[in-house]
Amino acid sequence: MRGLANSAIEKGLARGATYADARVMDIRHRDVSTKNGQVGRAAEAESLGIGLRVIAHGAWGFASTDRLTRQGIEACAAEAVAIAKASAMAKRHDVVLAPEQSYVDTWQNPFIKDPFRVPIEMQIAVLLRADAEMRKVKGITLAEGSMSFRKIDQLFVSSIGSVIHQVKMQSGAGIVATSFAGEEIQKRSYPNSFGGQHMLRGYELIEELDLVRHAPRVAEECVALHSAAPCPEGQHTIILDSSQFGLQIHESIGHPIELDRVLGMEANFAGMSFLTLDKLNSLRYGSDIVNVVADARLAHGPGLGTFGYDDEGVPAQCTPIISNGLFTGYLTNRETAAAIGQSRSNGTMRTEGWNRLPIIRMTNISILPGDRKFEDLIASTDDGIYMETNRSWSIDDRRYHFQFSTEIGWEIKNGKRGRMIKTPSYSGITTEFWNSCDAICSRDYWTLWGTPNCGKGQPMQTMGTGHGASPARFRNVKVGIALSK
């Protein structure tokens, strides 16, 4: 790996690059799924290649190849430099990078059981048992389960002298029960929707999730939703479970704080951000109890946004994003940090694979725990709705207006959880919503959720992000508009 990367850097510099970095990535996947008692997917894949990023004539170029021969690397370097020179045709100024030291290091996330060494038939057997448990419940028309595993072995080498080897092992799993009755399709998932829970851990995560034990409850709640009450319309107090709260953080904090988006670099596709530069250290983003960090360090937990170094060789850091309600930080890279006069990148450049350019991505964007017990949160709510597990999500291209619905909800009346509610939904304006937060549960209820499917960039890159959250309460929120006539 190292010889290939060094060769790419040398050839790029020899062709006129003033800076070069290379990522050799060897990525292995395993995906298994089941549906209604049968195996759906059973597949393994591997992909090895190199991506080379250069600055030449003051502009960026990037090329990638899986032809890992002398000729392949030579052609890749030539193409990267040619692209940079073409970029220079439309440049306004030379690329300037915030300074960074060089590092020679290795990093690997800890795990107990290598999921690729667990026999695939054992993984399928777990899914089939959960599938059978779900289908025992009358009214379930579809039972599905999935597991996915990913091992990324990557070497980063740069022309400033960094040589960083990292190995990331990722595991994830989930189950879904679906019921069609009358003119209605209801769905219940565990431990989260859209693929379940994903972390930088080994197979021990899957064992802890205990899909089989949760399958009957998931199925029973799914069928019960057909006879649940519709979501009321109006202004209400809501309590979000930690998984839905994690997605709320992702969409209405994680994306708007991306500095490339703020500076217009994503305007054509992912959009821009309401967090213009004048708002840094002046905008009251949320209430006083809202404290949010971007933390890629292992100390924060083994999230999908955890690493030793980002993909331009900057060490993992913890950046305060919202401090006691005040907006205090963006996600930056070396180029955008320099553009706004900051002395250093806070290390958020990440790439989907060897064939994609690193771009600013969320790491673990988490709310710090509060001090409430969940039981006390319910008990201290006179009239509200508790919402659990995301069903749909949408937000505008500047991240002001959002609408979410969840799979299930429950009325809260006089401090007690009451009748079930189907397809509860809520909507609002980001800063108004965050300023209405009046209670957050403690560390005992805090989970570092993994979002494996975050899309950004052109060409599109899918990235895993982490979001630590515990249940929280919001006052005077608009609910029920999604299905209003």
Partner 1 sequence: MARHSKTRTGKRASAKTARRGHAVAMEHRLGAAELRRIAEKIFKLSEADETEVDISAVTSALTRFANNTIHQNVAEQGLTISVRAVVDGRTARASTNKTDDESLRRVTTAALDLARVQPRNPELLPMLGQQKLTKVDRFVAQTAAATPADRARAVTSVCHMADKNKQTTAGIFSTGLAEIALANSRGLFEYYDDTRAEFSVTILEKDSSGWAKATSSRIGDIDPETLARRASEKAAGSRAPREIPAGRYTTILEPAAVLDLVGFLFYDFASTCVADQRSCFTGRMGKKLFGENISIWDDVYHPLQLGPPFDGEGVPRKKVALVERGIPVNLVYSRASAKKAKANPTGHGFSLPSEDGEAPFNLVFAGGNASTEEMIRSTERGLLITRLWYIREVDPYQKILTGMTRDGTFLVENGRVTGAVRNFRFNQSIIEMLSNVEMLGPAVRASGEESFDMVVPAMKVRDFHFSEVTKF
Give 150's contacts (C-beta < 8 A, 6+ positions apart): 27, 28, 29, 30, 168, 169, 170
173 binds partner 1 (CB under 8 A): no
Residue 122 Ramachandran class (φ > 0 left, ψ -120 to 50 alpha, else beta): alpha
12 binds partner 1 (CB under 8 A): no
299 binds partner 1 (CB under 8 A): no
Out of 46, 117, 299, 382, point to the residue binding partner 1 (CB under 8 A). Answer: 46
Out of 101, 102, 114, 184, point to the residue binding partner 1 (CB under 8 A). Answer: 184
Which 113-132 residues touch partner 1, going by CB under 8 A? Answer: 119-121, 124, 128
Supply the DSSP symbol for 254.
I
138 binds partner 1 (CB under 8 A): no
CA-wise closest residue to 178 among 403, 407, 394, 410: 407
Q: Which is nearer to partner 1, 285 or 446 (CB)?
A: 285
- Minimum separation from the CB atom of position 61 to partner 1 (A): 6
396 binds partner 1 (CB under 8 A): yes
Q: How far apart are the first and last CA of the chain?
A: 59
DSSP string of 268-286, one letter each residue: TTT---S--GGGTTT-B-S
Q: Which is nearer to partner 1, 161 or 455 (CB)?
A: 455
Q: Which residue in the block uniquely carries the two structure tokens 């170029």? A: 61
90 binds partner 1 (CB under 8 A): yes
Q: Which is nearer to partner 1, 342 or 403 (CB)?
A: 403
343 binds partner 1 (CB under 8 A): no
CB 345 within 8 A of CB 418: no
Tokens coding 329 = 């930080």
Query: What percent of the chain is helix, strand and coil (3-state, nearest 5)?
Result: 25, 40, 35
338 binds partner 1 (CB under 8 A): no
Q: Which helix (H) or strand (E) holds 249?
A: helix 242-249
33 binds partner 1 (CB under 8 A): yes
**Residue 354 DSSP SS3:** coil
CA distance 244 to 242: 6
Q: Which is nearer to partner 1, 65 or 287 (CB)?
A: 65
43 binds partner 1 (CB under 8 A): yes
110 binds partner 1 (CB under 8 A): no
Tokens coding 449 = 């959720």
CA distance 176 to 186: 10
| Number of alpha carbons in the 13 Å side-chain half-sphere of residue 200 | 27
C-alpha torsion angle, residues 180, 181, 183, 189 (rounded to 10):
-40
Among the listed ranges 166-174, 234-242, 267-275, 469-477, the one in contact with partner 1 (CB under 8 A) is: 267-275
263 binds partner 1 (CB under 8 A): yes
Q: Using alpha carbons only, give the angle 127, 131, 137 rounded to the nearest 5 degrees.
A: 155
Give 482's contacts (C-beta < 8 A, 6+ positions apart): 231, 392, 403, 405, 423, 425, 427
CB 74 within 8 A of CB 65: no
139 binds partner 1 (CB under 8 A): no
Which 354-393 residues touch partner 1, going by CB under 8 A? Answer: 355-357, 359, 391-393
Q: Mask of contacts with partner 1, 68-87, x by CB under 8 A?
A: -----------xx-xxxxxx
59 binds partner 1 (CB under 8 A): yes
Q: Which residue in the block uniquely carries the two structure tokens 């220079």? A: 88
CA-wise closest residue to 454 among 264, 250, 253: 250
- Minimum separation from the CB atom of position 444 to partner 1 (A): 32
Q: Site size for partner 1, by CB under 8 A?
A: 86
Q: Which is nearer to partner 1, 67 or 416 (CB)?
A: 67
- Minimum separation from the CB atom of position 248 to partner 1 (A): 14
Which 428-467 residues touch partner 1, going by CB under 8 A? Answer: 429, 458-459
Among the listed ranges 43-51, 294-302, 326-334, 341-349, the one in contact with partner 1 (CB under 8 A) is: 43-51
Out of 35, 129, 135, 279, point to the residue binding partner 1 (CB under 8 A). Answer: 35
Tell me which amino acid residue 147 is.
Answer: M
Out of 401, 415, 420, 436, point to the residue binding partner 1 (CB under 8 A). Answer: 401
Among the listed ranges 10-18, 242-250, 277-285, 397-405, the one in contact with partner 1 (CB under 8 A) is: 397-405
96 binds partner 1 (CB under 8 A): no
407 binds partner 1 (CB under 8 A): no
Supply the DSSP symbol for 278.
G
Which 206-245 residues touch partner 1, going by CB under 8 A? Answer: none
- Minimum separation from the CB atom of position 205 to partner 1 (A): 22
Q: Which is nearer to partner 1, 72 or 320 (CB)?
A: 72
